[in-house]
Amino acid sequence: MEIASAITLWGNDRHNMGRTLVELNFGIWKISRLEAGFKNFIFKLLHGRLYLNQALSHFTNVEPYCTFCANEEKRAMRAENIVEGGREWTERLNRAPHESIKHFFWECPITRRVINGFGNRISGTHGLVFKKSEWLGGLQDYSVRNMQMSILVVQYVRYYLYNSRCRHKQPTIPQSLYEFDALVRLMRLGGKWSEQVEDIPILVARMME
């Protein structure tokens, strides 16, 4: 699917996902049960309208570096008694990775620590990491409902990461689990998604290696 926002989000991995999984990603925000804020986040992300610092720096007074990486670097510099706002402080911040979609949702070490910790806690595994293709686009499965649930899982963790960024708070594994429980409770209502909710640990384990 040669859509500009899909290329930005998935790169060459979109070819491995298959048309069905790509289309399910683009339609996932239409599930009526989802909360408005989450649906709005998914829509913006998939349509290239979720602007992070790298994009914002082109037309606003925002630095392009990753919020989480910059916070870690600032913490380290304070521990080293580096003068805030001084030359070394500024130079080290300027070397921080830029906050692009690719970096923020996959490459950032703080993000990776949280998503892999979340995955291991949910699936009951230890030491596994998300496979890139599954984290970016969800799980290939014979069941459309299972694929949709896998997409919702990864998108909700992304939603938590994004909200943490907006609050200027470093994300944590316990908080990601706490936030995710809100989605689980919501999807259990009415029973339509009950089987997929119970299978979340299995679906997540299949997305890891």
Higher pLDDT, 166 or 33: 166
Domain C-terminal end among 66, 99, 132: 99
What is the overall mean pLDDT for the chain? 91
Same domain, 109 and 199: yes
Reported as a pLDDT band with limits 50, 70 and 90, residue 14 is low
The verdict on 84 and 117 lying in the same domain is no
Residue 136 has pLDDT above 90, yes or no: no
The model carries a pTM of 0.91
CB-based burial, 117-142: b 16+ in 10 Å, e otherwise? bbbbbbbeeeeeebeebbbbbbbbbe
* Per-residue pLDDT reduced to its tens digit, 65-120: 999 999 999 999 999 999 999 999 999 999 999 999 999 999 999 999 999 999 99
Residue 58's domain spans which residues?
Answer: 53-99
pLDDT digits (tens, 9 = 90+) for 148-177: 999 999 999 999 999 999 999 999 999 999
Domain count, the chain: 2
- Residues 191 and 130 grouped into a single domain: yes
Do 164 and 71 belong together in one domain? Answer: no
- Judge if 173 and 119 occupy the same domain: yes
pLDDT at residue 37 is higher than 60: yes
